[in-house]
Amino acid sequence: MTERLRFAPSPTGALHLGNARTALVNWLVARGCGGALVLRVEDTDEGRNVEGADQRIFDDLRWLGIEWDEGPDVGGDYGAYRQSERRCRHQSVVAELVQTGAAYYCFGDVETIRAERLAASEAGVPFEWPGRAIDAQEAARRVASGGPAVVRFRAPRDPVRFVDGLRGETGVEADQVGDFVIARPDGTPTYQLAVVVDDHDMAITHVIRGQDHLSNTPGQVALYDALGWTAPRFTHLPLVLGADRSRLSKRHGATSVAAMRERGILGEALANYLVLLGWAPPDEGEVLDAMQMVAAFDLGGLSSTNVVFDQDKLEWLSQQHMQRLPAEVLRQRAMPFFAAAGARFSDDPAVRAWWQHALQLLAPAAHRLDELPSQSAPLFWKPAESPSATLDGVLEEAVRSFVAAASAGELDTEAGFRDAARAIGKHTGLRGRGLFHPLRKLVTGQDTGPELARLIPLIQLGSRLPIEPAVQSVEARLTAALPSSP
């Protein structure tokens, strides 16, 4: 039988890291076994739906590299993949459960009932669900005469047991399940009912979701039993926690996938990071691309303890992935960040090639795409009109020699720069740091930065291209530091 998995987000806001991890694990398991991944939008709680949130979730998933085989925007064999479009089907299952006596109309205010149940449990006395004992005809009469009622599932008498993929056999006593609501007074089905009907109808074989749903599972298993359906397998993923060991939430800062993207973290790095939460690849390397993740991931190897989110590790992975990007891909990913910083891009192939080289030079020191514009400062630096410090004799001589070498095109290549520097060093007696530190300072305004032998030819090439902002040549930068001729 083909394995069928699903990711079932509610369109109530941004996709957060915990849910993104759930989606990723479902995708990895589906791809790893040649199964199908279904995307289902669980929009039954109308009051909580946020306009456009579903589309943003789809975009975030695709940015992470997660593709699904069936879903609201790609279709599939099972009809509608939005829960709200399946309401008639859900309502007919509710009606069937009422008819067989597995569910009943419960009259009374839900909040009052909850409080009374709590009080009964604290007092250690059995709780009587209002309406449970009313016979079906009487209930139908009261519903017809407009009495507001929810429909409750009649909880089983026996404990509910099921096997969790990470925890093994688990379950709860019957009274912990309680007679839960499956349809609201306005007739709309609740999540508990809709999720069971949809997972069954969509032939889902394995439900993988966050541990926060563990308490819902016994009720769902009981519903499968009452309907005579086989329940899927269940695996509940441990939670992702913040540094203070509480569940990762907005309190911990930016924890949405969109916020990570806006910060310039790479999608492949975030996916790589999320898969390493509670799982270690069998081989040593932790930097994995999508194919490597699919090949290596093993759900059974996932730890069953909660995991702590570590921004530093994510940034390290982002740096690693950035260095592995093909030059043109890196350029395209970086462009929006440079555009936001005021740079403009032309389609001139020489300009494009220049940016590719520039970004490859800068990438090793950057963790995120948004750091690249500030790290490109040495390329675009312009000296002040009047020099702030005077050069001493021998340094002035070295600078004049570099100006001459630059004007003669000798600094246009890495080898040319090295030859010129060697000759100038020999001639002036300035060597190593004594030569390169002042040179760097005069050319870039900074004390540290990328290797000069690579940086300087790039500046020279850039100064002859229509780049915006303009790149000033090395000779112009150095000349500005020289005392003007009398």
Q: Which residues here bind ligand GLU, judged by CB under 6 A?
A: 8-10, 42, 195, 209, 213
Catalytic site residue 441? Answer: no
CB atoms within 10 A of CB 176: 14
Cβ–Cβ < 8 Å for 450, 365: yes
User: Which of 209, 331 has the CB closer to ligand GLU?
Assistant: 209
* List of long-range contacts for 224-228, beta carbons under 8 Å, 24+ apart: 224/196, 224/200, 225/156, 226/97, 226/100, 226/102, 226/153, 226/154, 226/156, 227/93, 227/96, 227/97, 227/102, 227/196, 227/200
Tell me the closest approach of the beta carbon of residue 57 to ligand GLU, in angstroms: 10
Q: Which of 162, 184, 160 is nearest to 174 (CA)?
A: 160
Residue 22 Cβ vs ligand GLU, minimum distance, rounded to whole Å: 7
- Cβ nearer to ligand GLU, comparing 195 with 257: 195
Minimal distance in Å, beta carbon 36 to ligand GLU?
Answer: 16
Question: Among residues 219 and 281, whose Cβ is nearest to ligand GLU?
Answer: 219
Among the listed residues 250, 313, 382, 426, the single catalytic one is 250
Provide the β-strand partners of residue 162.
Answer: 170
CA 106 – CA 329 distance, rounded (Å): 59
Q: Closest separation between CB of residue 40 and ligand GLU, Å?
A: 8
Give backbone dihedrals phi and psi of 178, rounded to 5 degrees, phi first: 70, 165
Count of positions (residues) in the chain: 486
Q: 248 with 309: CB under 8 angstroms? A: yes
Question: Which runs of consecutive H residues, i.e. helices, occur in 188-289?
Answer: 191-201, 217-227, 257-262, 267-275
CB of 165 to ligand GLU, least distance (A): 14
Residue 72 backbone phi and psi in degrees, to 5:
-60, -35
Contacts of residue 380, Cβ cutoff 8 Å, sequence gap at least 6: 469, 470, 471, 472
State which residue, 220 or 473, has the beta carbon closest to ligand GLU: 220
| Cβ atoms of 466 and 346 closer than 8 Å | yes
Q: Which is nearer to ligand GLU, 195 or 265 (CB)?
A: 195
Smaller CB separation from ligand GLU, 42 or 70: 42
86 HSE (CA, 13 A, CB side): 28
CB of 310 to ligand GLU, least distance (A): 24
Closest CB to ligand GLU among residues 147, 171: 171
Using the CB atoms, write b or e for 207-244: b if 16+ within 10 Å: bbbbbebbebbbbbbbbbebbeeebbebbbbbbbbeee
Instruction: Report the residue number, 91 or 216, with the smaller CB distance to ligand GLU.
Output: 216
Provide the minimum distance between the beta carbon of 285 and ligand GLU in the complex, in angstroms, as a whole number.
Answer: 31
E-state strands within 121-280: 149-153, 160-164, 168-172, 181-183, 206-210, 233-237, 240-241
**Residue 106's beta-bridge partner residues?**
150
CB of 32 to ligand GLU, least distance (A): 19
Question: What are the catalytic residues?
Answer: 250
